[in-house]
Amino acid sequence: ALERYASIRDLKATALCGSTISLHMNAGLMADLPSLKGSGAEGVGLFRTELQFLIRNKMPKRAELSALYARVMDAADGKRVAFRTLDIGSDKVLSYMKPNDEPNPAMGWRAVRVGLDKPGVLRMQLQALIRAANGRPLSVMFPFITLPAEFYAAREEFEKAMARERILGHALPETIEVGAMLETPSLAYAPDCFYHEVDFLSVGGNDLKQFFFAADRENERVRRRYDTLDVSFLSFLDHILSRAKAAGTPISFCGEDAGRPMEALCLAALGFPMLSMRPASVGPVKHLIRHCNLKALRGVIEEARAEGAASVRPAVTKWLTSQGW
């Protein structure tokens, strides 16, 4: 699939209306990194650090993590990598951690909640990232932030780690970005100051959709009832985008939908300036965007909403067909 889109690999995802969408890839293992060149992605919009923890049978050591993150940054060769700190719990369970019997793990003790309650691993990870950067730029984001206070507490851990590294005489990152994943409706309605405080936001659409529709993302039977292009979900995304825009906060969308053709086009038309997806989707999505007038598509979406459609999918499908797709 990567071969087919090789001719547009170094071109931008500029739509017919002139707007350019920044396309990034999701990764989690060293083996994903070669795709950065092959796919034409501008960077890694989501590096799921838990995968490294999940493939082991014991807790990795700080030095190992630091060496690994340094190799990721080396392979990225100056391109941005947004490292997401450990998102365990829910569907991702570590064999070497005490199992946690919870009735609803997706809404349970997971991600940054674990990181803040038992900060040992989070601290080790932050220190490993700072050391790996070794003077290069560093982007870190925290998963499953539901309240601004969680973000501030996690960021404080990062600042403490920085202070420690400074005292130890290690080189500090040239620039730092500390962001949050927006994966629950609560954060969409956080106070304005949060939107100003955070360096960037990344919408985790898989979780956000699960909580918006109260439909378990692992449960096919209920998940399939809800369409990403449902007007209520699009209105919700609109709200998030307008808040980010008002605060001047960079925002991206990194759920699976960013890599699905029609969803990606609609997310771009809605106003997401950056999408992060599985590597194999970057070429196809770029191709689609380059052949689409996103402004006109936005009009089609608006019209369908005004007409009371439940989902904009039929109208978008019809429009794409009329455009000769």
Give the residues lining the site for Mg ion (CB under 5 A).
183, 204, 207
**Binding range to ligand PEP, per CB under 6 A, among 64-72, 203-211, 295-303, 310-318:** 203-211
For 43, residues 6+ apart whose C-beta sits below 8 A from its C-beta are 24, 25, 36, 76, 79, 80, 81, 82
Least separation in angstroms between residue 115's CB and ligand PEP is 15
Cα 8 to Cα 2: distance, rounded to the nearest angstrom = 10
**Helix 62-76 vs helix 119-133: crossing angle, to nearest 10:** 40
Check binding of 112 to ligand PEP (CB under 6 A).
no
Residue 205 contact among Mg ion, ligand PEP, none, beta carbon within 5 to 8 Å by kind: ligand PEP
Check binding of 204 to ligand PEP (CB under 6 A).
yes
Cβ contact 316:229 at 8 Å: yes
Check binding of 207 to ligand PEP (CB under 6 A).
yes
Check binding of 46 to ligand PEP (CB under 6 A).
yes
89 class by beta-carbon count within 10 Å (0-12 exposed, 13-18 middle, 19+ buried): buried
Check binding of 255 to ligand PEP (CB under 6 A).
yes
Check binding of 48 to ligand PEP (CB under 6 A).
yes
**Binding range to ligand PEP, per CB under 6 A, among 70-78, 201-209, 219-227, 261-269:** 201-209
Residue 46 contact among Mg ion, ligand PEP, none, beta carbon within 5 to 8 Å by kind: ligand PEP
Cα 114 to Cα 98: distance, rounded to the nearest angstrom = 12
**Burial code of 146-158, b = ≥16 C-beta within 10 A, e = fewer?**
bebebbebbbebb
List residues near ligand PEP by CB under 6 A: 46, 48, 87, 183, 204-207, 254-255
